[in-house]
Structure 1
Amino acid sequence: MKNIKLEKVFIAGGYGMIGSAIARQIREHFPAVELVIAGRNPAKGAKLIEQLGGAHPAFIDLTGAEVPEHAANAQLIIAAVPDPKNLLAEFAIKNNIAFINITQATGDTILPLLNFTQRYRPTQPVVPLGYYEAGLFLPLVSLLAADFSVIDSVQLSALHDPADPLGELSSSELGNELAPALIRDSGSWTHSSTPRDITLQNGEVIQGVPFSILDTTAVAAITSANSVRLDIAAGTSMGMHQHGKPSIDLYVDIAGTDNAGEHVRKRVIASDPRGQAHMTAFGVLTVIKAMLDSEKGGLVAAEMLLDMAAALQQMKDAGIAISRE
């Protein structure tokens, strides 16, 4: 997207909890951008559109076959809700429009995009952003990995607070039986449902369950670790303990040989006091900024786009607390 001015952004699901947070982040950082807030019930976005200014509603049904005209002259299309037919993705690729989908989180969902981009060869980036909090684990891993010469294992943990509206939804999902998740265990790729004990910042021990998402394979590639997994858990967040307001907390634990030759375990924690919807939206914003500075086109993984040091600084500037143990 380098040298392309971002003038219009089309957001499918733009008035939902995460979609509206994405719209607000874009408006805050790109005040002149025209926003199209699309969904099956555009009237639900009326209040948001009024608040945003420079925004318009549009109808879209992603189970149908039509993409609104509003999308055709956008520089960026964002799918903030599932797109089962890849309707927006295929439209964006065919029309060489930059694209982000925050719900595509497995290899099975990405493979059709790979084939489609191979066919049409878009020069604009197509980013499957189904990473936890839209990729914000990645800068944390990069920060901690710099301390190691050899990394044996990486454990990623996401703590959802039931007092957070999205955390409540995530916590309820943990009550259901999740499908076995893709993990790397002693060098082998396998699927597991085995829970793991997670020691929180305050010493409390809770159980997390493995979750299939793009972070696992991305972190394995970044670190060359023989063991990588991401677990989700529900519990009282750092923000709730410290300030009485729920936060979303991300934990990264790395074990290996440090640059002095010692075998060590190290941890970094990121806590967003504004909750999960804000953190996810901020992750999307971070990727948009990286897209604008990149000359990469076609299917691009988030870890190939992000300047990790810049993303980490942006997180800190946004009020996301980052601490090391």
Structure 2
Amino acid sequence: MSTNSQKPVLIIGGSGVVGSLAAKTLRQLQPALPITIGGRDLARAEAVARELGNADAARVDLGRPDLGQPGSRAYSAIVMFVKDDTLNSLRYAQTQGAAYLGISTALFEVAPEVAYFIHQPTRSAVLMASNWLAGAATLSTLHFARAFQSLDAIEITAVLDEQDVGGPAALVDLERQTKAAPSSLVLEQGRWRWAEAASSARTVRGVDGHALHAQPYSLLDPASLAAATEAKSVRFDVSVGMSSSRRRGEPFSTEFIIELEGVLEDGTRARVRHEVTHPRGQAPVTAMGVAVAVERLLGLSGGAPAAPGLYLPETLIAPEYLVQRLQESGVRFSRV
């Protein structure tokens, strides 16, 4: 274990619905790692910390450059489960030389984070993990893409059950991302274009055969996958409504469908569909994505601690490792 990893990981928003589950998942993977639960409500943060063990709580003020933390505090990583409009959290991580992980920045919002990194490129490892479910869709796609020698098209459709939006912070993210940009970036036949949501919507067959209305959504997945695979066409769509499990009268699930088209390793052309589901919704999938990312940033799995740099999930995390962890957490993968 590296010296830096002995410092606590500060999880801002760690007492929320997904943040607290991520903290518990990280604790399961790394029993000895110190964790600080940060938030505005100190009592809620302390309750989560007590449940975790080897953890404490801190009141965080994103309006202050020091986040309201005493000068004696030092952290190995800052993990964000809320959108920080000030980006004081990133500046604070850079000041400390701590790793930084954000999951709430839409594709059209990345410029400030990139600029802050460019101005201090030797300070921190900055992981932009605002892919669907903290990289779960992108890394699963890359895992399945290894069956191809070349890819022409990647199409991902995520199903977000309207009862599975998450806590208040997640709802704010969804509303901001859908209202702030009426168009989403897609790659079509080698050309990037902004696709207007209504005119670019499509109908997709769900995991239960039900027809889903899906439209483009501006997360980082298309950019990640285009760079990693050289596919000519990449799009990411989301369908908000009822998951297949809830249509059966069961609790909501999270689902995403990966469709890959290209030339397989044996030289034949094919279009392959993979369905990925979790019966308890998006929270445990996001939690595992974040926990694995923190492990990797700190060098607790998969290699040495990440050097200062600007990263996407697929540039740090081995797809097969995350897929393994997702399966252990209850994610079901099936090829159709």
**Partner amino acid, structure 1, of 2:262:** G
2:198 aligned with 1:187: no
- In structure 2, the residue matched to 1:210 is 216
**CA RMSD, 1 decimal:** 2.8
- Residue aligned with 1:203, SS: coil
CA contact (8 A) 1:209 1:231 kept: yes
* 1:173 to partner: Cα distance: 5.0
TM-score, with normalisation over the residues of structure 2? Answer: 0.87
**Partner amino acid, structure 2, of 1:306:** I
Separation of aligned partners in 2, 1:205 and 1:14 = 36
Question: CA, structure 1 residues 121+222, in 2 after alignment: closer, same or farther (shift >3 Å)?
Answer: closer
Which range moves more in the overlay, 6-15 or 74-83? 6-15
- In structure 2, the residue matched to 1:14 is 14
**Partner amino acid, structure 1, of 2:17:** M
**Partner amino acid, structure 2, of 1:154:** I
Separation of aligned partners in 1, 2:251 and 2:284 = 14
Separation of aligned partners in 2, 1:128 and 1:240 = 32
- For structure 2, the 5+ residue unaligned runs are none
Question: CA, structure 1 residues 201+164, in 2 after alignment: closer, same or farther (shift >3 Å)?
Answer: same
- In structure 1, the residue matched to 2:269 is 263
- In structure 2, the residue matched to 1:307 is 318
CA contact (8 A) 2:288 2:325 kept: no
- In structure 1, the residue matched to 2:258 is 252
CA contact (8 A) 1:78 1:99 kept: yes
CA-to-aligned-CA distance 1:239-277 (integer Å, 9 cap, x gap):
446782221112111112223333321011221222111
Separation of aligned partners in 2, 1:89 and 1:321 = 35
Which range moves more in the overlay, 68-77 or 95-104? 68-77
CA contact (8 A) 2:131 2:138 kept: no
How many residue pairs are counted as aligned between the two chains?
A: 324
Separation of aligned partners in 2, 1:94 and 1:113 = 15
2:60 aligned with 1:54: no
Question: CA, structure 1 residues 187+24, in 2 after alignment: closer, same or farther (shift >3 Å)?
Answer: same
* 1:152 to partner: Cα distance: 1.3
**Partner amino acid, structure 1, of 2:202:** R
CA contact (8 A) 1:113 1:299 kept: no
TM-score, with normalisation over the residues of structure 1? Answer: 0.89
- In structure 1, the residue matched to 2:98 is 97
Separation of aligned partners in 1, 2:3 and 2:49 = 28
- In structure 2, the residue matched to 1:143 is 143
- Residue aligned with 2:134, SS: helix
**Partner amino acid, structure 1, of 2:193:** T
CA contact (8 A) 2:65 2:92 kept: no
- In structure 2, the residue matched to 1:219 is 225
Question: CA, structure 1 residues 70+273, in 2 after alignment: closer, same or farther (shift >3 Å)?
Answer: farther
**Partner amino acid, structure 2, of 1:180:** S
Separation of aligned partners in 1, 2:280 and 2:129 = 21
**Partner amino acid, structure 2, of 1:316:** Q
CA-to-aligned-CA distance 1:124-150 (integer Å, 9 cap, x gap):
421111111000112221122122222
* 1:33 to partner: Cα distance: 2.5
Q: 1:317 aligns with which of 307, 317, 328?
A: 328
Separation of aligned partners in 2, 1:296 and 1:246 = 39
2:235 aligned with 1:229: yes
CA contact (8 A) 1:105 1:214 kept: yes
Separation of aligned partners in 1, 2:235 and 2:157 = 9
**Partner amino acid, structure 2, of 1:128:** M
Separation of aligned partners in 2, 1:105 and 1:286 = 21
- Residue aligned with 1:156, SS: strand
Query: What's the % identity of the aligned pairs?
Result: 26
Separation of aligned partners in 2, 1:74 and 1:252 = 37
CA contact (8 A) 2:125 2:309 kept: yes
- Residue aligned with 1:133, SS: coil
Question: CA, structure 1 residues 203+6, in 2 after alignment: closer, same or farther (shift >3 Å)?
Answer: farther
CA-to-aligned-CA distance 1:37-65 (integer Å, 9 cap, x gap):
22222223343233222332222222343
- Residue aligned with 2:218, SS: coil
- Residue aligned with 2:252, SS: coil
**Partner amino acid, structure 1, of 2:332:** A
Separation of aligned partners in 2, 1:265 and 1:73 = 50
Separation of aligned partners in 1, 2:71 and 2:160 = 36
CA contact (8 A) 2:75 2:96 kept: no
* 1:184 to partner: Cα distance: 0.8
* 1:2 to partner: Cα distance: 5.9
